[in-house]
Chain A
Amino acid sequence: MQMLRKLSAGLLLLAVASFASTPAAEAAGQTLEIVKKRGHLKCGVSQGLPGFSTPDNRGNWTGIDVDFCKAVAAAIFNDADKVKFTPLSAKERFTAIQSGEVDIIARNTTWSMHRDTALGVDFPVVNYYDGQGFMVRADLGVRSARDLDGATLCTNQGTTTELNAADYFRSNGMQYEIVAFEKADESVAAYNSGRCDAYTTDHSALYAQKLKLSDPKAHIVLPEVISKEPLGPLVRQGDAAWNDLVRWTHYATVAAEEFGVTSKNISEMKSSSNPSIRRLMGQDGSFGDNLGLSKQWAVHIIRAVGNYGEIFERNVGVKTPLGIKRGVNALWTKGGLQYAPPIR
């Protein structure tokens, strides 16, 4: 009996010790090594947001954020399929990255100062510039967000959306009632059934969720953009090398678009004489080595998912059901905000 007690106390200590030491080991700046050893990347995504991260009926994930993780996997393994996706709710996401459950989160997440400085996470880059808006029934007769005084709003819990809506209505002296659901699907269902006058979230997500409504044509997205929502991937704080890798994965796709390198012409581009393209393709210099990757890292990325323009158009562009124009997400050379620092 005494032996048993001793044993159980020992087991308890062991459990405690192992529990407590795991995150410490991963925080030591070795994410790339751990991912390489494991053989796949663990990526946190949304629970289903068309255009950004959504599973099809066979369980294959697609979307801008999914392509981001695939790009990182391609850079590391030269195989875009070496990713395991973990769907996360808005309120689970920070805990999931803090605890080491995932290596990276690409979950249409707004980069805000509080999140960057207080949650132990870093936002390496912005892969989609967005802003919050409202969707209403067309027959409601509302044409501007200013007409929404007294309206009931449906939204997702645990997002910047709740705060922005509160700020917007209060600063304009308007009344509102907010109904915040844990899952996006439930808030859309509640809006669809008439519980709310308006559904509010990021503009891109409004276009995406509109597709899930029983009659998408009966709803309109109001023109106002009431907030800045720079969406991007996030990683644990304290691993600068991993941060660099994620940041330059995005820049490689942006630079490729700028230089006209696409997934289709990539083989020909290898023999290009343009020095910028030669550095991107790993023909000159050793930029991949410095990231802990092969020289061909960018080629692997672009071959797998294409350049930023291709990723955008394939997932959310005007030819997709979402039909979103490039707008502020155009390259800087075309008046947009997507700008990659020089690879040199």
Chain B
Amino acid sequence: MQVLVLAAVLGAMAWLVGNVQSNLERQNINSGFGFLSERAGFGINQTLIAYTEDDSFGRVLAVGLLNTLLVSALGIFFATLLGFSLGVARLSRNWLISKIAMVYIEIFRNVPLLLQIMFWYFGVLRNLPSPRQAVSIGDAIFMSNRGFVVLWLEASAGAFWYGLAALGLVIGGIWLRRRAANAQITTGQATRVWRPLLGLAVALFGGAALMAGVPFALDVPHLKGFNFRGGLTVIPEFVALLLALSLYTAAFIAEIVRAGINSVSKGQREASAALGLPESVALRLVVIPQALRVIIPPLTSQYLNLTKNSSLAVAIAYPDIVSVLAGTTLSQVGQALEIIFITMMIYLSLSLLTSWAMNRYNQRMAFVGNNT
């Protein structure tokens, strides 16, 4: 029976695809994915990789995807940071801190996200002055209604050695911490790793400096014509979207964290206190690791929501994947079926990838404690 149903469904899908194709052909509508290699011909105002109007629609896809990833990754980072702080603050015994956290959570999670995006974009950032009257912080950061222009370091060829040094430092740090953890298990002695780490850093970056000298040139923003030239420009669309996504999702994460911490039985705290652990250490080493088991699955959903919600970018002209691919490219090429399909597949892949990573993290956390 199930085989029959499956066959019927597959057959229906195949027929549907064939029917769509023949209908498109009969209506003289282009189909296929050939457009991805055609010249795009329009400009995009935030590109993480090199892009000009001469590049292809395939390149547009990559630019849009990276912009989506950028705002999602930073959004997840800030939302998690703020959400955990708020969740802990919500449980604080200090009345004022707890109430402030509560008011924040209730406001931000109960106002629709699109309105919040509009609020930050049209309500707050548009009130900044024009570039010629930009607010400047130490001539390094200029704030105007064109965005934030920041003094930036332009990497030269020598930057490669510094990158190598940084990579070496990360690997060395991980190795040192692992060795210290092993030593604690075998000898019971906690050793601090920052001293050898500092030595390693000095050695590595000293070596890089010997190899390459000063690898950066200062890129100073200066007013020329209509706007600033030079420096790194953070467009206001990005700032508004990142703010809204982080603040909105943080409210949900705070509630998840609160629920997680509350789910750890009181006995665990009391046992920690009986062992003489200070409250902060008990929270960090006993309560939170157990709370994480409750926190991670709903937290994953929030990460997925944040990524998908970033598609609201189109309302304020942030060039994310929906805006440049399912927006501009769609109307230039006109192949709605293919482009919407690509866009859906991209979001699906992003979500599945996030779920997979979070599930792996969850599995590792699941063995940490026993809550009974």
Whether the Cβ atoms of B42 and A178 lie closer than 8 Å is yes
Asked if A159 lies at the interface with its beta carbon under 8 angstroms from chain B, I say yes
Whether the Cβ atoms of B43 and A166 lie closer than 8 Å is yes
- Shortest distance from the beta carbon of B336 to any chain A beta carbon, whole Å: 5
Whether the Cβ atoms of A27 and B323 lie closer than 8 Å is no
Whether the Cβ atoms of A162 and B26 lie closer than 8 Å is no
Whether the Cβ atoms of B26 and A163 lie closer than 8 Å is no
Residues of B close to A114: CB separation below 8 A: 332, 334
Residues of A close to B126: CB separation below 8 A: 190, 193-195
Residues of B close to A159: CB separation below 8 A: 331
Asked if B81 lies at the interface with its beta carbon under 8 angstroms from chain A, I say no
Whether the Cβ atoms of A167 and B41 lie closer than 8 Å is yes
- Find residues 18-50 in chain B having any chain A CB closer than 8 Å to their own CB: 19-20, 23-24, 26-30, 41-45
Residues of A close to B15: CB separation below 8 A: 16, 20
Output the nearest chain B residue to A93 by Cβ-Cβ distance: B331
Residues of A close to B333: CB separation below 8 A: 118
- Shortest distance from the beta carbon of A239 to any chain B beta carbon, whole Å: 10
- Find residues 106-155 in chain A having any chain B CB closer than 8 Å to their own CB: 114-115, 117-120, 148-152
Whether the Cβ atoms of A180 and B317 lie closer than 8 Å is yes
A103 to B130 alpha-carbon distance, docked (Å): 46
- Find residues 314-328 in chain B having any chain A CB closer than 8 Å to their own CB: 314-317, 319, 323, 327-328
Whether the Cβ atoms of A150 and B28 lie closer than 8 Å is no
Whether the Cβ atoms of B41 and A150 lie closer than 8 Å is no
Pick out which of these stretches binds chain B: A5-13, A213-221, A284-292.
Answer: A5-13
- Shortest distance from the beta carbon of A185 to any chain B beta carbon, whole Å: 11
Known pairs A13-B8, A16-B12, A181-B317; A150 contacts B27 (CB<8 A): no
- Encoded as 1 (CB less than 8 Å from any B CB) or 0, chain A from 144 to 186 comes to 0000111110000111001101110010000011111110001
- Find residues 61-102 in chain A having any chain B CB closer than 8 Å to their own CB: 90-91, 94-95, 98
Pick from A23, A170, A187: contact of B27, CB below 8 A.
A23
A179 to B42 alpha-carbon distance, docked (Å): 11
Residues of B close to A98: CB separation below 8 A: 27, 29, 336
Asked if B111 lies at the interface with its beta carbon under 8 angstroms from chain A, I say no
Asked if A2 lies at the interface with its beta carbon under 8 angstroms from chain B, I say yes
The range of chain A's interface size is 35 or more
Whether the Cβ atoms of B224 and A12 lie closer than 8 Å is no
A170 to B8 alpha-carbon distance, docked (Å): 54
The range of chain B's interface size is 35 or more
Whether the Cβ atoms of B5 and A5 lie closer than 8 Å is yes
Residues of A close to B9: CB separation below 8 A: 9, 12
Residues of B close to A170: CB separation below 8 A: 53
Asked if B237 lies at the interface with its beta carbon under 8 angstroms from chain A, I say yes
A24 to B26 alpha-carbon distance, docked (Å): 8
Output the nearest chain A residue to B42 by Cβ-Cβ distance: A162
Asked if B199 lies at the interface with its beta carbon under 8 angstroms from chain A, I say no
Most chain A beta-carbon contacts within 10 A, residue among B122, B224, B331? B331
Asked if B226 lies at the interface with its beta carbon under 8 angstroms from chain A, I say yes
Residues of A close to B332: CB separation below 8 A: 114, 158, 162-163
Residues of A close to B316: CB separation below 8 A: 181, 186
- Find residues 270-324 in chain A having any chain B CB closer than 8 Å to their own CB: none
Whether the Cβ atoms of A176 and B30 lie closer than 8 Å is no
A181 to B333 alpha-carbon distance, docked (Å): 18
Whether the Cβ atoms of B317 and A120 lie closer than 8 Å is no
Pick from B12, B20, B53: contact of A12, CB below 8 A.
B12
Known pairs A16-B15, A158-B328; A193 contacts B43 (CB<8 A): no
- Encoded as 1 (CB less than 8 Å from any A CB) or 0, chain B from 86 to 130 comes to 000000000000000000000000000000000000100010001
Asked if B83 lies at the interface with its beta carbon under 8 angstroms from chain A, I say no
Asked if A202 lies at the interface with its beta carbon under 8 angstroms from chain B, I say no
Whether the Cβ atoms of B314 and A238 lie closer than 8 Å is no
Output the nearest chain A residue to B128 by Cβ-Cβ distance: A194
CB-defined A-B contacts under 8 Å, sample of 27 = A9-B9, A16-B12, A16-B15, A20-B15, A24-B23, A91-B331, A94-B331, A114-B334, A117-B28, A118-B333, A118-B334, A120-B24, A152-B146, A152-B227, A157-B328, A157-B331, A162-B328, A167-B41, A170-B53, A179-B237, A180-B317, A180-B319, A182-B317, A182-B323, A182-B327, A186-B316, A190-B317
CB-based closest 5 A-B pairs: A158-B331, A120-B29, A193-B126, A120-B27, A91-B331
